[in-house]
Amino acid sequence: MPDYYIGLISGTSMDGIDAVLVEFGDRSLRTAAATSLPYPPELRSELLAATRNPQSCTVDVLANLDHWTGECFRDAALGLLSESGVDANQVRAIGSHGQTIRHRPDEDRPFTMQIGNPNIVAKGTGICCVADFRSADIALGGQGAPLVPPFHEWLFRSEAVERCVVNIGGIANVTLLPQGDGDTRGFDTGPGNTLLDAWARRHLELAYDESGQWAASGRCDDALLGRMLADPYFGKAPPKSTGFEYFNEDWLSSHDRGDREPADVQATLCELSAKTIAAAIDTFAAETREVLVCGGGVHNTELMRRLSAHLAATLLGSTSEHGLDPDWVEASAFAWLAMRTLENLPGNAPGVTGASRPAILGAIHPAG
């Protein structure tokens, strides 16, 4: 029988859970099924409140959210199995990233926290669940993020050409893949969709700016863009990672005086994401000739147009051209990390996260 793995993740947009069922080959994979399960509106509202206003997130609130989110991750896995017709006993493990609640890798006592009780996932599906992937890297002095570059290297590295994989979720990250066997590097470049989505929620009462149409209707404000680009994070050398704890509406308000047309601010935020992603590639991988984009940002036509303009010397495309739908790359990465854990193989890349050494990631929660 095939040896399947399930990958589960919810990103910083907190709109729901991406779930994939995959079968791994020799530096290849086959996607057997994929789905996305939206969070119940009340849960999403409470998750957003807990993360945007951490002072109000009591122990009781956090424990309730951990259980509730775990139920949703369980249901996403069960729905995936039902949709695919694959029996649970054909699945070796679930890799569950969980929902990030707080990511503080630069504190005196650094930490990262993902919720979504993995015992509920394991017991509710009858499949062992590997979770808490980031903590081991943090314990070794790393950022705990990004964790997807080793998977990108495994699947997308080329012997013939320098490549870069760009994942545009709420936060954007890059994986720099030199041709051949050079060292893989990667880091968070800064905001991807998070500020764009927040601005669309405030002014359009929509979850996001579909295809970037609103951004395309505005004009980039160079003065505002310059102030935002002066933020120290963009000039900081990797390893580095960030999150909505840093790049949020308060951050935007600290740079914007509030005297601009909302569409012009959206256009400026779109340019900020494109420019900082391109600058990261130009600075740390100037020989890159192919850029593969994944994550929700690949559907933002205006963002992709601006990114292409900044990377005129490269071939800009999607991971779909290399065998994996851009919407399912990150979930597939956590299925792959679960496989690495069960095979007692390291899952992090110290050159990416800054950890002192490679480590087997995650904690295994048995089904029995």
Looking at residue 74, its amino acid is R
Q: Walk me through the domains of the chain, giving residue ranges and CATH numbers.
A: 4-143+329-365 (3.30.420.40), 149-322 (3.30.420.40)
Tell me the average pLDDT of the chain. Answer: 96
User: What whole-number distance in Å separates Cα of residue 38 and Cα of residue 41?
Assistant: 8
Q: Which residues contact 128 (CB under 8 A, 6 or more apart)?
A: 92, 93, 94, 122, 364, 365, 366, 367
Tokens linked to 43 = 């849960």
Report yes or no: 229 and 276 within 8 Å, Cβ to Cβ.
yes
Task: Quote the pLDDT of residue 13.
Answer: 84
User: Is the pLDDT at 63 greater than 80, yes or no?
Assistant: yes
- Asked if the model's pLDDT at residue 337 lies above 90, the reply is yes
Cα-based distances in Å from 34 to 6, 25, 44, 74, 94: 9, 18, 21, 15, 14
Q: What pLDDT is recorded for position 52? A: 87
pLDDT tops 80 at residue 1: no
Secondary structure of residue 343 in the 3-state scheme: coil
Tens digits of per-residue pLDDT, 100-151?
Answer: 999 999 999 999 999 999 999 999 999 999 999 999 999 999 999 999 999 9
CA distance 227 to 229: 6
Is residue 181 helix, strand or coil?
coil
Asked if 190 and 8 count as a contact pair (C-beta separation under 8 A), the reply is no
Cβ atoms within 10 Å of 279's Cβ, excluding its own: 16
pLDDT (average), residues 319-324: 95
End-to-end CA distance of the chain: 21
Contact predicate 43/72, CB 8 Å: yes
Q: What is the pLDDT of residues 202-258, one digit of tens each?
A: 999 999 999 999 999 999 999 999 999 999 999 999 999 999 999 999 999 999 877
The rounded percent of the chain whose pLDDT value lies above 90 is: 93
